[in-house]
Amino acid sequence: MSADRERAAADLAALDRDRAALAEKVLQPWWFDAALGLLLFGFLAVQAVDADWVTAPALLVFAGGLALLVRVYRARSGVWVHTPARVMAGWGALVLVVLVPAYLLSSQGHRWAMVVAGAVLGLAVALLSRHWGRAWQRELREGV
Amino acid sequence: MTAVEPRFDQVVHAPPRLQVCGLLAAVDTMEFAAVRDAVGVSDSVLSKHVKQLEDAGYVRVRKATIASRVRTSLSLTAEGRTAFGAHVAELKRITGG
């Protein structure tokens, strides 16, 4: 093997090692996914009350909770990635499929529908967050 | 996936800079301290190499004050991602991979 080839192989191996080491840091702890799911559930479930004095503080808690989760994740891992557009599009479609019927039912007096929607989407975001985290981890381990 | 044209890049090639680019290519942003720890160099050495990457237009440096502490984060520019991708393609071409 020529020196250039050896050096190139060593550089590629080093890049792969760095990505593998990074993969060990990027997966969020389990409580991150649980907190994300609970925040979404809480925010949607309180819409069943249909009163501004409940929904306005709920929005503040939801936004504040998300900001805190992002901050904690960045402080722990030292990195940040934005969710890919195709993943966000899939999530947006799921939100619409669940929320539109729930909103229609809720507007006809079946306010419990928002609690169910919150439970479904809260559980979904927790599971999907875990899935996306593991998928990114696998991608990093595959190397450059 | 679009094939990347292999191209040796002298700015990316130097050992600490290749590592820095490799880490930043895997994320959107990375804290300066996290890059420093991963690369295993001092603040001053990393700063010097980041400056060279910044001057080449490959890296963007952002400073933010959070809880009265200045945090520096690094990210690859689109040009930096292209250059790194082309350099990796060249390394693979050399190794026949």
A111: phi then psi, degrees, rounded to nearest 5: -65, -25
> If you average pLDDT over every residue of chain A, what do you get?
93
**Chain A residues in contact with chain B using a Cβ-Cβ cutoff of 8 Å:** 4-5, 8-9, 11-12, 14-15, 18-19, 21-22, 25, 71, 74, 77-82, 140, 144
Q: Do A11 and B38 touch (CB under 8 A)?
A: no
Say if B62 is an interface residue toward chain A (CB within 8 Å).
no
- Listing from the earlier edge strand, what are the strands of the sheet with A79-80? A79-80, B29-31, B69-76, B59-66
Q: pLDDT at position A1, please?
A: 57
Q: Do B22 and A19 touch (CB under 8 A)?
A: yes
CA distances B48 to B16, B17, B36, B43, B52, Å, are 10, 10, 12, 9, 7
pLDDT tens for chain B, 97 residues: list them. Answer: 457 899 999 999 988 999 999 999 999 999 999 999 999 999 999 999 999 999 999 999 999 887 788 889 999 999 999 999 999 999 999 998 6
Q: Do B91 and A12 touch (CB under 8 A)?
A: yes
Q: pLDDT at position B69, please?
A: 84
- For residue range A53-77, what is the model confidence (pLDDT) as tens digits? 888 999 999 999 999 999 999 999 9
Q: Do B92 and A12 touch (CB under 8 A)?
A: yes
pLDDT band at A52 (very low <50, low <70, confident <90, very high): confident
Q: Which residues pair with B64 in a beta bridge?
A: B71
pTM of the predicted structure, to 2 decimals: 0.87
Distance separating alpha carbons of residues A78 and B34, to the nearest angstrom = 5
Q: Do A79 and B30 touch (CB under 8 A)?
A: yes
What CATH number labels B10-95? 1.10.10.10
Residues A77/A8, Cβ–Cβ less than 8 Å: no
Residues B74/B32, Cβ–Cβ less than 8 Å: yes
Rounded to a whole number of angstroms, the distance from the CA of B33 to the nearest CA of chain A is 8
- Chain B residues in contact with A144 by the CB 8 A cut-off are 22, 25, 88
Helix (H) or strand (E) holding B76: strand B69-76
Q: How many CB pairs under 8 A join A and B?
A: 63
Distance separating alpha carbons of residues A6 and A36, to the nearest angstrom = 46
- Chain B residues in contact with A9 by the CB 8 A cut-off are 95
Rounded to a whole number of angstroms, the distance from the CA of A20 to the nearest CA of chain B is 10
Q: pLDDT at position B9, please?
A: 94
Distance separating alpha carbons of residues A11 and B13, to the nearest angstrom = 9
Closest CA to B18 of A138, A6, A8: A8
